[in-house]
């Protein structure tokens, strides 16, 4: 019986449950202006049907400009916290997401210079309601109007970056949220300027927390208590 209870707790998500997405709940982990692709990590569980929009049109605090690209990604199944999702060749008809589906419109090519990509929730790809994360090669200029800041919920890369990728730790921290400041710290990235990286593929290794020992101790005590209670009832 105890084994069944333990299995049930694990199966139903003894880890984090899915939450409504907020700023900082995802982060960019890679940017490739040569391939025209990028990658993100989610720090929370996502339910099937979750939709996230991306745009490299600049946000002025009230609206996006025009002339660049928009993308809409939909989780076609549940996505576990810590998963890294790659978006490849977003400027081509063969564009793809490593999980879920992506649709695009506009001029979807990415530039190495003066480029900012936003991830956001919204009624559509032009109407943001919550900015989640950002990556930029033009400083904070276009991040600030969206309420994003480098090192917190956005990463600021060197201007003219061809390829960049987070290379810091993906295991060892006590919570997934703890990785946010690291992933958004450009000092934790490998940044390449002036080389052809069209064939470079980002690291898709998931991020994982190390549960605190007390968590397992409390679970064990709870299961022992439940087991003793069931045994006593069985004797009556």
Domains of the chain: which residue ranges? 19-211
Q: What pLDDT sits at residue 20? A: 82
CA dist., res. 219 & res. 120, Å (int): 36
Q: What pLDDT sits at residue 211? A: 77
CA dist., res. 52 & res. 45, Å (int): 14
Continuous segment of H or E residues that includes residue 220: helix 213-235
Residue with tokens 């004797």: 235
Does residue 227 carry a pLDDT above 90?
no
Query: Which pTM was predicted?
Result: 0.84
Taking phi first (over 0 means left), then psi (-120 to 50 degrees means alpha), and beta for anything else, what does residue 228 get?
alpha
Residue with tokens 């900082």: 24
**Residues for the chain: how many in total?**
236
- For the chain, percent of residues with pLDDT exceeding 70: 81
The whole-number average pLDDT for the span 122-132 is 96
The whole-number average pLDDT for the span 206-227 is 61
CA dist., res. 44 & res. 210, Å (int): 15
Does residue 63 carry a pLDDT above 60?
yes
228-to-2, 18, 218 alpha-carbon distances in Å: 10, 32, 15
């Amino acid at each position: 019986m105890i084994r069944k209870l333990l299995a049930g707790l694990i199966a139903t998500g003894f880890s984090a449950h899915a939450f409504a997405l907020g700023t900082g709940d995802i982060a960019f982990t890679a940017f490739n202006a040569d391939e025209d692709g990028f990658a993100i990590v989610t720090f929370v569980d996502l339910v099937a049907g979750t939709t996230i929009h991306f745009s490299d049109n600049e946000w002025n605090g009230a609206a996006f400009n025009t002339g660049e690209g928009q993308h809409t990604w939909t989780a076609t199944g549940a996505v576990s916290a810590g998963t890294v999702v790659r978006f490849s060749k977003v400027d081509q008809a063969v564009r793809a997401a490593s999980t879920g589906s992506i649709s695009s419109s506009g001029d979807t090519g990415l530039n190495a210079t003066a480029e900012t990509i936003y991830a956001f929730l919204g009624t559509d790809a032009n109407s943001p309601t919550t900015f989640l994360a950002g990556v930029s090669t033009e400083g904070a200029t276009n991040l600030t109007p969206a309420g994003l800041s480098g090192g917190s919920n956005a990463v600021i890369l060197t201007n003219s970056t061809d390829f960049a990728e987070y290379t810091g730790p993906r295991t060892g921290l006590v919570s997934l949220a703890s990785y946010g400041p690291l992933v958004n710290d450009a000092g934790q990235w490998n940044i390449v300027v002036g080389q052809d990286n069209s064939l470079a593929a980002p690291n898709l290794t998931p991020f994982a927390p190390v549960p605190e020992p007390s968590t397992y101790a409390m679970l064990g005590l709870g299961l022992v208590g439940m087991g003793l209670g069931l045994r006593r009832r069985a004797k009556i």
